[in-house]
Structure 1
């Protein structure tokens, strides 16, 4: 709503095509802040071709690797996705399952796909369980 209020001439484009699929795009910029070395993560959620939600925020912890930073970004995106699916169900709009999550990090995708936890991923185990 802040975006629409600040930019009244632009607005948000809504697609006329009807679709029940959700897709999420997420990314992170590892150690982006020069002072705190915290990463900045962002995501956007689309319902068909219509943009529903987007967010960019500095992460609350310092990540030791870009994979960890990307994985935290993925966890935040999935959290938003779960909330949107529940909202759409409450409004009587069923969505196709599963929703597709896009990430450009091969390492983060491998962590999400691998059910075996290693010593290097132990500290992000909670996010692993949440994304699955």
Structure 2
């Protein structure tokens, strides 16, 4: 609750700044994530990029270097999905504290078929051992279904 008060004080002190929410009351959350595999030329770490919208309003965005070197583009994408899932979970928790309840699934859009197959496959293969924790995180959130922290992973075509 302290964080919410800080945000409100900040917005009160800066009336010309803020973000616009849609008038139609659409409180659906949509998230997009991507990664740039081995983009850092010195240490070959990948970048995670994400943005999250509430209704049509952008409420969170981030670009950050991943903490470990990914062995494949699928691994880099899956790590980006895991970070986005954590951000969505935090936003849903914050909205719940503010008595704003999201009644629909959160749609997570990404563009990697291999990452989609890893998320859907309950059997871990030798080649995916190194990202097992991220797999468990995302699969667990998908399987929670209709709970407050529900996420539906969709693949862009």
Tell me the TM-score normalized by structure 2.
0.75
Bigger CA radius of gyration: 2
CA distance in 2: counterparts of 1:129 and 1:113, whole angstroms? 11
Deviates more, 1:27-36 or 1:106-115: 106-115
Q: Which runs of 5+ in 1 are unaligned?
A: 2-8
Using CA pairs under 8 Å that are at least 6 residues apart, name the structure with larger relative contact order, 1 or 2: 1
Corresponding residue for residue 52 of structure 2: 45
Matched, 1:82 2:102: no
Aligned pair count reads: 127
1:69 to 57, 76, 86: 76
1:112 to 111, 119, 122: 119
Matched, 1:58 2:65: yes
Deviation at 1:20, TM superposition (A): 2.4
CA distance in 2: counterparts of 1:28 and 1:17, whole angstroms? 32
Corresponding residue for residue 21 of structure 2: 14
SS at match of 1:75: helix
